[in-house]
Amino acid sequence: MALFKKENEVPMPRHIAIIMDGNGRWAKKRGLPRTAGHAAGAETFRKIANYCRTLGVEYLTVYAFSTENWKRSEEEVSGIMKLLGNYLREALQDMEKNHVRFRFFGDLTRLSPELQQLCLDAQSRSGAFDDVQVNFCLNYGGRDELVKAAKAFALDVASGKRQAEELTEDVLPDYLYSAGVPDPELIIRPSGEMRTSNFLLWQSAYSEYVFMDVLWPDFGPKELDAAIEEYKRRNRRFGGV
């Protein structure tokens, strides 16, 4: 292992975001219901979250359920919510051992009262942990987030807390779900699709995207390592030369 970082070497990303895509196609290829794909995807998430912690990644943001995913069948939506509830119950039980900090990006009000409470409990009880922070994008959409941020700022202007001219690129992030969280340096989308799908539209302005032709349930540490190595090969100029 090298003791010193090479000159101009891109460091390990502090914040990795993943669009967890391909569960349904993984199940279809095996003649299984889509819910089986989501169950397999949930296990992949557990493995990747643990692996990120061993790598020293500080923030992991995952696209768990979008504002558009409500269009799917009631059976599939119910299955996804059940898996999330099971995961959060386990996480609450193992919290003192795993030391994972939780945040939730999205409008939780459409979730069941029980699931909303699990999210709030996980977020509040894990707040003091300083290992990896996992941000779940749940009932989340990038455009919806920006609209809500604009409305929140407008309300502050109307109440006299802010002046309209105070809105800048440095102020708007304070009104996003991700307030206080650094933007992701690396965003990974498995499954072979090459689009952002309304994910972290503001935060991804200078993120490096890596698209991979592997379905999410088949994604593992080897694929994450490959994505990080690809990220490190990039020349991140941020608009400069």
Catalytic residue check, 69: yes
Q: Of residues 50, 69, 98, 198, which has the active-site annotation?
A: 69
Backbone torsion region of residue 8, taken as left when φ is above 0, otherwise alpha when ψ lies between -120 and 50, otherwise beta: left
CA distance 238 to 111: 38
Q: Of residues 21, 23, 135, 139, which has the active-site annotation?
A: 21
Catalytic residue check, 130: no
Catalytic residues: 21, 69
